């Protein structure tokens, strides 16, 4: 049974969906959720589903304490699901091609530092984009620049608000993220 470790900073809807997808799955299971935010909704969602959670500070992440905790678990795949901090090169080097992220836009557009959540959807609407989507990619030392694994597009209508675009993106994330993770682990 392969082990998935999830990193998240917020509400945790993608993490919850992934945990449920791999519950009673013969390919993999989510073994823990790590968060840099002690108030993140993902913590209670994980615990309610029987998944261990671990919180840490940015200092813990950058000074190697989180890497020590990861090494105790020895995950087959590390999944960033709404994790907002830059992932340290030390962890990337230790787990090459074993860390993936989902980005709520069609990279390389709307990627990089500061491009997350509603900031992206507002920019998509402001720039009158005709389409947007999700990108699942490997994590490297630069924000949103790792090799792409999967993209799925959705149409943006001229009447769409950032909130409507966010709902469309959320639907794509919920539908495709667990499936892509499963395909990677097969």
Q: What is the pLDDT of residue 112?
A: 92
Q: What is the pLDDT of residue 140?
A: 96
Q: What is the pLDDT of residue 184?
A: 98
Active site includes 21?
no
> Taking the model in full, what pTM does it have?
0.97
147 falls in which pLDDT band (50, 70, 90)? Answer: very high
71 falls in which pLDDT band (50, 70, 90)? Answer: very high
Q: What is the pLDDT of residue 164?
A: 98
Return phi, psi of residue 32, to 5°: -165, 160
Among 21, 23, 103, 137, the active-site one is 103
């Amino acid at each position: 049974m392969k082990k998935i470790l999830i990193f998240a900073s917020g509400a945790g809807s993608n993490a919850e969906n992934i945990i449920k997808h791999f519950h009673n799955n013969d390919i993999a299971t989510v073994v823990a959720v790590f968060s840099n935010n002690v108030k993140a909704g993902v913590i209670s969602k994980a615990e309610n589903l029987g998944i261990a959670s671990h919180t840490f500070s940015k200092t813990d992440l950058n000074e190697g304490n989180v890497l020590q905790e990861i090494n105790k678990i020895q995950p087959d795949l590390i999944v960033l699901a709404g994790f907002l901090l830059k992932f340290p090169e030390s962890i990337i080097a230790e787990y090459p091609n074993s860390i993936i992220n989902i980005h709520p836009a069609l990279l390389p557009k709307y990627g990089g530092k500061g491009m997350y959540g509603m900031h992206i959807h507002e920019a998509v609407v402001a720039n009158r984009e005709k389409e947007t989507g999700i990108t699942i990619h490997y994590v490297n030392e630069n924000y949103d620049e790792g090799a792409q694994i999967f993209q799925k597009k959705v149409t943006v209508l001229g009447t769409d608000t950032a909130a409507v675009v966010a709902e469309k993106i959320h639907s794509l994330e919920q539908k495709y993220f667990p499936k892509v993770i499963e395909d990677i682990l097969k």
